[in-house]
Amino acid sequence: MKRPSVLGVCLLFALTVRTEAVRAESPRLSRDDQRTVDLITTAYFAGEPLGYAEPLTKLLGKTTDQRLAKIDEALKAQLVPVTAELITNVHLQAVEYGIEAKLPPAGPRETLSVLARLKLRVAAADGIAQDHRLMQDPLPDPGTLEEYDTLMWDAHVLETKIRNTAAIGNHMRRLVSGLSKRRVAELDAASSALIDDAQGAILLKLQLLLAEVEERQAEVRLQRLELALATLENPTLTTERFRAAYTAQVDADLLSNFLTNKSAFIRERLQSKDLLEQVSRDREKAQELAGDLTHKSQLLFTGLHWWLRGRYGKGTDVFGLAKSPAAMYSGRAQLALYMPQEFPKPNDPEQVSNQQQPVPQYDRRHHYWWAWEDRRVRRSLQFANEIEGDPGNPTYTRQPVIM
Amino acid sequence: MIEEIVKQRDEFVVYTNLSRRYEDDFTRAVAGDRAKRGLGWIMALARVELGAMRAGFTDERSPFERVPPSRYEMPQYTEILLDSARTHYLALGNDPVAQNFARWSGPPLTSGRMPDKARVPVERQAIAYARRAVIASQFADAVERLGQSRLTSEQYAQLQQAKQNLESLRSAIVYRILGLGVEVVSSTRIDTIPAGRSYLGMVPGKVELPSMDPTPAPPIP
């Protein structure tokens, strides 16, 4: 039997395997442009979008369409996305980490290009929200706490997505404010419409959508709290009772926080004046019924949560193996991870074909992370799509909040 | 009951015996059920990953012992730790890059000066492989400490052999390739490797796990 090469397990390729044959198809560039392409390419294959922010912004600020087309061609020949896509990724990452202010100032070309792509993201996220089961009436009401786990995960994924998208909407408005009035007046009709949307309508729509998602999620938590209380009434120790001890406290705490910090609600059930008090009473009752199960269940489920993050979470850099250097100074960047949108089902690493995505991405992290020093972790198309691709169909999303 | 909660969820399944893919048909262990479920498995995996992180990114001498297993998950921990050590060891034994480094006889890449442009990728790769060899060695050390009283004399000898091979590779990279000092100890040279199965797995014969073979190094790509 042919012995599998270690290159297989170490997922080697990328930089050094961008062959001369590929290079041969690249257009001829000036020395400066070639240097820029090399800088961008190196940062791209290192998996560090913020690393190519400056050369890209500089390039987009001074170049002509014709020259840019040649550079895009050169990037494509090296299997790197085109400049418009790359610069959008830069902005997206900055938004996710809350470090937009650290980006070099965008010129008109960059602003319009990024706005157009961000608008597509916003539309895709809106579409996902409209089809989500949390957004249907009546609200879903699973019969068991175990089934609620999946619903709450789905709801949390949606909330995170819309929250992130609202941050994108905010960034769009900020980008527009950087354009001069004279420049805006010169724009064609389509670009003007884009600027108008980015100035306010998009953000407003997303803020309303986020409010609705949060309220629906809160209402589902109320349902789950009721079910947990009913479950705790039965003293027989079961897995459902153990779950109830945990979820009752989590839901009561999150609901109290939510109801305290908001003054007005769209949904009728949340408008009840004594709801906050009721939640507080339910919390105490649940604790009384659960006894020491409350603490024990918290230890278990908190541990399981962090285990899942460690097992399936992907950082933004080095193909999921690392977080951004921004994590050194940004709390958001430290906590942020790409997490599966659905509960993952691991597959057998020995049975996974080349066409399949391994779940989790790394069977053991220590088998791979030594390789990041020479940046030879494979960059598969599937994986690239998860992180940077079509927002309408990503496998992963950010999950920075404990459920 | 806690076991039941963990076992009933697919996301907590841990696949084991990953080193199997580096073994040939003759030495490969029987597959068995590799999908493991239970609290012990997820705790064991977390401890091994955390220990490996310490091995790779700190200079702690016993990185795995800082996060030792409890009696509860000891059997699972032992299995995952041993499987990981075998995987690192066998993967290195099959890696032509590691073999090139182990046989390096040219001048160091960076003896007192910056490497030229063509050699930068090789230097970067050498650093990565040095880290890899250190991680593999730390795993072998952890297996040794964990199995102290349980290893047969033959298993112990095989483990020492594996550790020597890994040390030879690390030493070749650090001293002869990266030129980071003078190689004082040269007694780790392994000219012959006994055939058969080591505690960590098949001791590579044809594929030659890192040895100090003094054949000329191939040209730098």
Q: How far apart are CA A66 and CA A144, in angstroms?
A: 61
User: What rounded mean pLDDT belongs to chain A?
Assistant: 84
Q: Which residue of A has its CA nearest to B99?
A: A6
What is the residue-level pLDDT of chain A in tens, covering all 403 positions? Answer: 334 333 333 333 333 334 344 444 667 889 999 999 998 988 887 767 778 899 999 999 988 999 999 999 999 998 899 999 999 999 998 898 888 888 999 999 999 999 999 999 999 999 999 999 999 999 999 999 999 999 999 999 999 999 999 999 999 999 999 998 888 888 999 999 999 999 989 999 999 999 999 999 999 999 999 999 999 999 999 999 999 999 999 999 999 999 999 989 999 999 999 999 999 999 999 999 999 999 999 999 999 999 999 999 988 777 788 887 778 888 877 888 888 888 899 999 888 887 788 899 899 999 887 766 544 444 333 333 333 323 333 334 333 222 2
Measure CB to CB from residue A371 to each of B1, B48, B128 and give the nearest one. Answer: B128
Q: Which residue of B has its CA nearest to A340?
A: B11
pLDDT at B29 over 90: no
Tell me the chain A residues in contact with residue B11 when contact means C-beta distances shorter than 8 Å.
308, 311-312, 343-346
Tell me the chain B residues in contact with residue A311 when contact means C-beta distances shorter than 8 Å.
11, 45
The shortest C-alpha distance from B94 to chain A (Å) reads 6
Q: What average pLDDT does the segment B101-114 reach?
A: 72
Q: What average pLDDT does the segment B103-114 reach?
A: 70
The residues pairing with A322 across neighbouring beta strands, listed in sequence order, are: A317
The shortest C-alpha distance from A7 to chain B (Å) reads 7
Residue B122 touches chain A, beta carbons under 8 Å: no
pLDDT category of residue B184 using cuts at 50, 70 and 90: low
Tell me the chain B residues in contact with residue A9 when contact means C-beta distances shorter than 8 Å.
21-22, 87, 91
pLDDT category of residue B182 using cuts at 50, 70 and 90: low
Q: Residue A285: its pLDDT value, please?
A: 97
Q: What average pLDDT does the segment B199-206 reach?
A: 44
Q: Residue B23: its pLDDT value, please?
A: 73
**Which of residues B26 and B173 earns the better pLDDT score?**
B173
On whether ipTM exceeds 0.85, the answer is: no
Residue B29 touches chain A, beta carbons under 8 Å: no
**Which of residues B104 and A23 earns the better pLDDT score?**
B104
Tell me the chain A residues in contact with residue B20 when contact means C-beta distances shorter than 8 Å.
350
Measure CB to CB from residue A364 to each of B1, B18, B20 and give the nearest one. Answer: B18
CB contact under 8 A, A366 and B48: yes
pLDDT at B106 over 80: no
Mark residue A20 as left, alpha or beta (left: phi above 0; alpha: psi -120 to 50; beta: remaining).
alpha
Q: Residue B197: its pLDDT value, please?
A: 44
Tell me the chain B residues in contact with residue A243 when contact means C-beta distances shorter than 8 Å.
5
**CA R_g for chain B:** 19
CB contact under 8 A, B10 and A239: no
CB contact under 8 A, B92 and A6: yes
**Which of residues A181 and B112 earns the better pLDDT score?**
A181
User: What rounded mean pLDDT belongs to chain B?
Assistant: 77
- The H-or-E segment that residue A122 falls in is helix A108-131
The 3-state DSSP class for residue A329 equals: coil
pTM score = 0.76
**Which of residues A142 and B208 earns the better pLDDT score?**
A142
Single out the residue of B51, B38, B58 nearest to residue B81, CA to CA: B51
Q: Exposed/middle/buried for A387, CB within 10 Å: 0-12, 13-18, 19+?
A: buried
Per-window interface: B 153-172 vs A, CB < 8 A: none
For residue A360, say if its preceding peptide bond is cis, omega within 30 degrees of 0: yes
Percent over 70 (pLDDT), chain B: 73
Q: What average pLDDT does the segment B122-142 reach?
A: 89
Tell me the chain A residues in contact with residue B207 when contact means C-beta distances shorter than 8 Å.
3
Q: Where are the alpha helices (DSSP H) in A271-380?
A: 275-290, 293-312, 331-335
Q: Residue A357: its pLDDT value, please?
A: 85
pLDDT category of residue B221 using cuts at 50, 70 and 90: very low
CA distance from start to end of chain B: 57
CA distance from start to end of chain A: 47
